[in-house]
Amino acid sequence: RQSSASGRSQCSACTDTDLPKVLITGGLGQLGVGLAKMLRRRIGKTNVILSDIRKPPNHVYHNGPFIFSDILDYKNLREIVVNNNISWLVHYSAVLSAVGENNVALAKEVNITGLHNILDIATEHGLRVFVPSTIGAFGPSSPRDPTPELCVQRPRTIYGVSKVHAELMGEYYHHRYGLDFRCLRYPGIISADSQPGGGTTDYAVQIFHAAVKTGQFECNLRGDTRLPMMYIDDCLRATLEFLEAPAETLVNRTYNINAMSFTPHDLTQEIQKFLPDLKVTYNVDPVRQAIADGWPMALEDSAARRDWGWNHEYDLPELVQTMVTHITMGNQ
Ligand code: AKB
């Protein structure tokens, strides 16, 4: 690599004539727009196509190509890949943990049937495919602090089951058909400009907006619930660096990545250093609490650090300072 993935220079894996053409599915979720922005700085605006089934806000149209794509429609997906000469596919469409428990049929459809379409298309067209997994791919019988790369995975949510399925299917396609499948297990991701949709870790984003706007927040997890979290810039940089890593450096196809762990109580105290009037009350959602109680408290990520140089930049103090600054400025 010529520079860190967040820098402006081109990736060394790609020459001018051979830049990857990237399709991002589920592009209007928490991570798609940010990843597209980072990738476009690196490989050019027109080489990154953001897609979703919803109409985006105007600024998304202005920042680069956006198209309709439905991952449940195999023909539509194939047409997009062929017509745009796609070489990398970042598959962000998913139904998250809390929403999945309320609509298991939808989660099965999107997270399992949709994934099958993605893997088949990627195999058929020789694509590099990135599928995020999650701390949710572990369950109450997994070791929790820290959770190793390889251990018992018996999640109790449809989201978790579908993500274990994705890890196993992707690795199977890699070994059976040579598919360039790449998968990172993300912690809860914290971002200022984009909202998560229906996860268990969502409180850790919502609390910042409430702290700046009203100074009051009702938390739906117990104050002592410790979970692994990561600032969005670290998550997107990890994704890009992992996507660019030469295949021969990847001992695994699925890696844990870790940055920090905190509880709602720790987070409140840190935010109060900037916004001392913040008041947090607790109204525990039993579904989310049961999910969080079975999830890792930290991920063991030495393999990612060893094989492709993963290194996080944000710990809790930097995260809080950055989030409070961004959201305060955005509200002015
Ligand atoms: C969720 O809470 O469902 C997600 C995740 C940790 O995968 N944010």
- For every residue of 112-180, DSSP letters joined together read IIHHHHHHHHHHHTT-EEE--EEGGG--TTS--SSBPSSS----SSHHHHHHHHHHHHHHHHHHHH--E
Contact call for residues 65 and 31 (beta carbons, < 8 A) = no
Pocket lined around ligand 1, Cβ cut-off 6 Å: 96-97, 134-136, 159, 188, 196, 199-201
Mutate to test the pocket of ligand 1, among 190, 200, 231 (most ligand atoms within 8 A of CB): 200
Q: Which atom of ligand 1 is nearest to the CA of 134?
A: 7
**Above 60 in pLDDT, residue 215?**
yes
What's the pLDDT at 17? 60
**Above 50 in pLDDT, residue 211?**
yes
**Of 113 and 197, more confident:** 113
Q: Which atom of ligand 1 is nearest to the CA of 100?
A: 3
All residues at 6 or more sequence positions from 62 whose CB lies less than 8 Å from its CB, including other chains? none
* Nearest alpha carbon to residue 284 among 208, 224, 197, 227: 224
**Above 50 in pLDDT, residue 322?**
yes
Q: Which residue has the tokens 């209007």?
A: 28
Per residue in 232-261, pLDDT (tens digit) is 999 999 999 999 999 999 999 999 999 999
**Above 90 in pLDDT, residue 109?**
yes
**How large a percentage of the chain has pLDDT more than 90?**
92
Mutate to test the pocket of ligand 1, among 131, 190, 202 (most ligand atoms within 8 A of CB): 202
Mutate to test the pocket of ligand 1, among 95, 97, 221, 257 (most ligand atoms within 8 A of CB): 97
Per residue in 61-94, pLDDT (tens digit) is 989 999 999 999 999 999 999 999 999 999 999 9
In whole angstroms, what is the distance from residue 228 CA to residue 185 CA? 11
Angle value at C-alpha 324, between 323 and 325, nearest 5 degrees = 90
Phi/psi of residue 217, nearest 5 degrees: -145, 135
Number of C-beta neighbours around residue 257 at 10 A: 23
Supply the residues annotated as catalytic: 159
Range 199-214 average pLDDT: 97
Q: Which atom of ligand 1 is nearest to the CA of 188?
A: 6
The three-state secondary structure class of 119 is helix
Q: Which atom of ligand 1 is nearest to the CA of 200?
A: 2
**Above 70 in pLDDT, residue 14?**
no
Range 4-11 average pLDDT: 46
* Nearest alpha carbon to residue 56 among 32, 88, 84, 83: 32
Supply the pTM of this predicted model: 0.94
Range 155-179 average pLDDT: 98
ω into 146 cis (within 30 of 0): yes
Determine the distance separating the centroid of ligand 1 and the alpha carbon of 15, expressed in angstroms: 36
